[in-house]
Amino acid sequence: MKWLTDQISRIHVLVALPPLFILILATDVFAYFAGLLFWYGDVMANPFMPAPIWTWPFIPDCPLAGLLGGLGLLMVTAHKFWSPQAQARTRRYLLIIGGVSLLLWLSTYLPGAPVAWSRLSATLAVWSWSLLLAGAFFHQAPPWLLGLFAFGQIKYGIWTVTAWTIYWRNTALMLGAPDFNPMSVLMTVSHIALVGQGIFLLTYFKPDARAALVSFVWYALSDFVDYGLGWFPSLPLTYIPLAIMQWHTIVVTVLLSALYTWFSRQPSRATPQASRLNKGRSGQLTHPSV
C-alpha cells in the first residue's frame, strides 16, 4: 500500500508540472467549447424548441464533465502545491473571468443582439456558472463538490466508450465490418482519458456520504433530463439502441453512487485539505503564473 501511495504522489507531482498541467486544463477547456459550439449549444438555444434554462447544466454531459473535472484538478493541485498567494490570485482570476462571462451571457438577451451571438447564450451561461462555482469553493474544495466532478467524468466517459463499442459491434453485424471511422476512434480514446482523469481526481480525496448523496441526486436528475425529457445526446439510432444507452446510464449512476458510499465507509485517507499540512512539499514545485 505504501508503494502505491508513493507512486500516486509521484504522479501528482508530475501532473502539477506547468507544461503538463496547462496542457490538461487547455484540453478540458477546448473540449468544452468544441462540444458546446458544435452540438450542445445549438440544442439548448434552439429558437424553435429551447431547453428550459434550469436544464442547461444537465444537457452538455461530456463537455461539461471535462470542464468541471479540469477545474477540480486545478483546485486540488493548487491546494497541494501552490503558495497561499498563488491560490488567492487564481481564485480571484476565476471569479473575474466568471463574472465577465456572466455579463457576456446576459448580453445575449439584449435587444438587437445578433442571432449568432444569441445562440451562444447557453454556452456562455454554463461556462460562467462553472467558473463562479469553482471560484466560490476554491479555498475549501469540499469532497462533495470534487466527488461530483469526478463522478461526471467517469460516468460520461464510460457512456461514450460504451456507445461506440456498441456501434462497432452492430456495424460489424449489419455491414460486415466494424465502422472504425476517425470520429469514433478519436472520441473513444479521448473519453477513455476522461474516465482516467476522473479516477485520477479521486486520488486526491476520499468521497464522503454527502458526496455520494449529492452525486446520486445530481446525476439521477441528469438522467431524467436526458431520457425523461428527451435531451439525450445525438445517437446513430440505427446502430445504437436508445433503450440500451438509457438503462446503461441509469445503472452506472446507481453503481457509482454505491461505490462512493462504500468509499465513504473506509478508513480516512489524506484529503486536499489535509495536504495543506504538508508544508515541506509546498513551494517545491513551480506553479503556473496565474
Residues 48-94 pLDDT 10s:
778 999 999 999 999 999 999 999 999 999 999 999 999 999 999 99
Q: What is the mean pLDDT of residues 168-184?
A: 96
Q: Is 178 helix (H, G, I), strand (E, B) or coil?
A: coil
Q: Report the phi/psi class of residue 112: left, alpha or beta, with left for phi > 0 and alpha for psi in -120 to 50.
A: left
DSSP symbol at 120: T
**Range(s) of the domain holding residue 126:** 2-277
**CA–CA separation, 282 vs 270, rounded Å?**
15
285, part of any domain: no
- Taking only the tens place, the pLDDT of each residue in 145-166 is 999 999 999 999 999 999 999 9
Please report which confidence band the pLDDT of residue 235 belongs to, taking 50, 70 and 90 as the band edges: confident
**CA–CA separation, 152 vs 195, rounded Å?**
9
**CA–CA separation, 227 vs 175, rounded Å?**
28
* N-to-C CA span, the chain: 35
260, part of any domain: yes
216 neighbors 257 (Cβ within 8 angstroms): yes
Give residue for cell 451571457: 105
pLDDT of residue 269: 53
283, part of any domain: no
145 neighbors 210 (Cβ within 8 angstroms): no
pLDDT of residue 199: 97
289, part of any domain: no
pLDDT of residue 278: 39
Q: Which three cell numbers stand for residue 210?
A: 454527502
78, part of any domain: yes
Q: Which three cell numbers stand for residue 289?
A: 503564473
The structural domain count of the chain equals 1
Average pLDDT, the chain: 91
What's this model's pTM, rounded to 2 decimal places?
A: 0.91
* Alpha helix ranges (H) inside the chain: 2-16, 18-35, 41-44, 61-81, 84-107, 115-118, 121-136, 143-175, 182-202, 209-223, 242-264
**CA–CA separation, 5 vs 8, rounded Å?**
5
Give residue for cell 449549444: 41
33, part of any domain: yes
Residue 16 has pLDDT above 60, yes or no: yes
Nearest to 255 by CA among 162, 155, 168: 155
286, part of any domain: no
**CA–CA separation, 134 vs 141, rounded Å?**
8
143, part of any domain: yes
R_g (Cα) of the chain, nearest Å: 20
Amino acid at position 94, single letter = L
